[in-house]
Every structure is written in C-alpha cells, then in structure tokens.
Amino acid sequence: MESDILGADSMQDLTEAERQHARKLLNQLWQRGTEFLGVPYAILGGAMSWLSERHLVSAISNAGGFGVIACGAMEPLALAQEIAATQLLTYRPFGVNLIIMHPQLHELIAVCLEAKVGHIVLAGGVPSAGVIQRIKEGGVKVIGFVPTLALAKRLVQMGVDALIIEGSEAGGHVGAVSLNVLAQEILPFMRDVPIFVAGGLARGDALVSYLEQGASGGQFGTLFAAATESIAHDNFKKAFMRASARDAEVSVQLDERFPVAPVRALKNAGSRRFLTHQAEVIQRFQSGELTRKEAQLAIEHFWAGALRRAAIEGDVENGSVMAGQSVGMVDSIQPVQQIITALVKQAIVQLAYQKRRYLSM
C-alpha cells in the first residue's frame, strides 16, 4: 500500500538501486539509535498514560520500533503485571517510563530490574545521581528527558545513557520551546550519547532532517494513540481524525499566582470551562473565601481523572484529549505495523530524492 494516513510516498518512482542506497543511508543515520535500543528502526513510542500499555507497546516493538510502557501512577504490583503481560506479547525490546516524583520510585525500579527490562526512561523532573546509579548497577540503560543543553550535559555527567529532547509541539505535559529550537540548541553540541527527538513528529521525512543534524532516532506519540492496537476509546480516536494542528492547544493560565501545568490537548467544552473555573476560584480567593493553598488545589483538581474520562471512557467533550500538534495529520485508524512501515518509506524516499537533486546539480 503506497499511500496512507501519513501521505502518499513515492517508493514506486524509485529504482531498486535508489531504494537500496537510501535504505543503507537511513540505517547509517540512525545506527547509533537502533543499536542502543536493540531494534531495527529507531522509532520510539511515546509513553502515554492509559494508552501505552501491553497491547500498544508490544505492537510497536513487534513492528520493529521500541515500545515504552507508561507507568504513570501505577503501583509496583500493577507495573510488574503489565511488564509480564507485555513480555508475553513480544520477545523484542521495550522500555518502561517512570515518573521521578512517584512516591514508590525505588520499588518501581526494583520491579524493572527483576523483570530484566532493558531500558528505563526517567521523566517528570531531574533524577538524582543515586537513582541513575542504582538503575545502571542493575544492568539497565537509562534515558532522560532534557529541555536545555546545560541539563543535557549534567545528566550525561551523572551517567545517563541517552537523552530525549521533546518540543512544545508534543501532546500532554510540555515545555515552552519548540523541537526546532531545541534541536539547534542541543544536537550540535552533544555527541557523547544517543539523542532522540520528539514533539510534533508525524512523518519519516521530517525525522530524516533531525537525523542529519545528529539525532539518533525519534519518538512518536500522537500517531500511535490513534492506532488500531491502541485501547483508546473510539470517540478519542475520532476526535483525533477530526482535529487540525490548531485544535491542539496548551492549557491557559489566568493568574501567575496560581500556576497551571502546561498541557497540550484538543480544545473542547472542558478546556473552555476550565477558564471559567479558574476565574471563579480566583474571585473566591480575592474575596477571602479560599486561602491561596485551597484555591491552588481547587484549580488543580479540575482535571483530576480527565485523561481517563476522554481516552478510556470516551467523554471527549469534558475530558482531556491530550494530543500533539501532529494530530492534524491523523485522518484514519491504522495498525501500528502500517504506520511504522509508512514512516520508514517516507524516510527512504526523502533520502533518495535528496541524492537525485544532488546528482542533477
């Protein structure tokens, strides 16, 4: 199938020699990433709460990518069960994403070591040297998220084996800087470890541009959230198919005294009501009805359970439909294998056409 949700590729327009050369070049460009992950394609699945579980994770790994379980708020026993279930569905490598602020972080690490998970992705803050050391002593590779060059250098000095730089185009909890800028700030100056790019990626040719800048692979989330194997509710997937890039907005903060964690999600009745809710809570604080702490908690509580309401229960009007700006390129539900095949084809076509243009000069 030569056309798909990711756009028509032009493999049929290439000669066999062009295809083989482009495949070889792609393998060279992401060789550091594929060897580090132990997979054919340096394509990671973003760890998405509720969705990055055994079915989606194993499908990504079975298709040649690298699936990552989203531990989120799971307790150790639940994580152990999820890892075991995933191992029954794939013999290929996959990782586990752990939130650094989790109160049982050390117990979760122990679960991963016991299950012989090969890679742990640490997210949601800056890990301590002790945490990194414990994981590495267990024979597991550590991947960390970084929003700045300074932190990238610091984590590498602390022993992190690879990094992910994620731009603000991503879905869910995001930083303030786009992937385009982060790549320029970090990739030319960090050669010590593999670096994977994330945020707004939906095509293989786009990934090629970052590989040529020095990245070792890419992480994709929104594409996989709407895949056939994703356990997301049909309403959630259909919301993705209807949306444009502009519909994926970052949550708005009305008052700097009451910080709102920036989360990118599709605008809906819930996001509009959140603005009204903030205004009402702030007014109650100013009138003395609420303390500052009570007001902050009231604002934060608004979205409690909102992702599950949307992703699992299907309430896409009142829940939080977390999605990256690449959501505008999702217009059908397809199997993970087909998505990954399309990404690889697009990368190959891009590299082949680059060579054609060079030879025609």
CA dist., res. 129 & res. 155, Å (int): 9
Residue count (the chain): 361
Nearest to 50 by CA among 70, 68, 66: 70
* Mean pLDDT value across residues 201-208: 97
Query: Per-residue pLDDT tens for 262-309?
Result: 999 999 999 999 999 999 999 999 999 999 999 999 999 999 899 999
- Burial state string for 212-227 with b = 16 or more CB within 10 A and e = fewer than 16: eebbbbbbbbbbbbbb
Q: In whole angstroms, give the CA distance from residue 99 to residue 160.
A: 15
Q: Is 144 left (phi over 0), alpha (psi -120 to 50) or beta?
A: beta
Q: CA–CA separation, 235 vs 13, rounded Å?
A: 37
- Over the stretch 38-51, which tens digit does the pLDDT of each residue have? 999 999 999 999 99
Under the banding of pLDDT at 50, 70 and 90, the label for residue 13 is confident
- Strands of the sheet containing 67-70, edge to edge, are 43-45, 217-220, 195-198, 162-166, 141-145, 119-123, 94-99, 67-70
> Of 262, 225, 237, 266, nearest to 249 (Cα)?
266
CATH class of 11-233+327-352: alpha beta
pLDDT at position 6 is 37
| Complete DSSP assignment for 49-91 | TTTSSHHHHHHHHHTTSBEEEE-TT--HHHHHHHHHHHHHH-S
The C-alpha torsion from 109 through 110 and 111 to 115, rounded to 10°, is 110
The residues of the chain that CATH labels 3.20.20.70 are 11-233+327-352
Is the pTM here over 0.85, yes or no?
Answer: yes
pLDDT in tens, 102-114: 999 999 999 999 9
- CA 45-149-225 angle, to 5 degrees, is 15
What whole-number distance in Å separates Cα of residue 329 and Cα of residue 240?
9
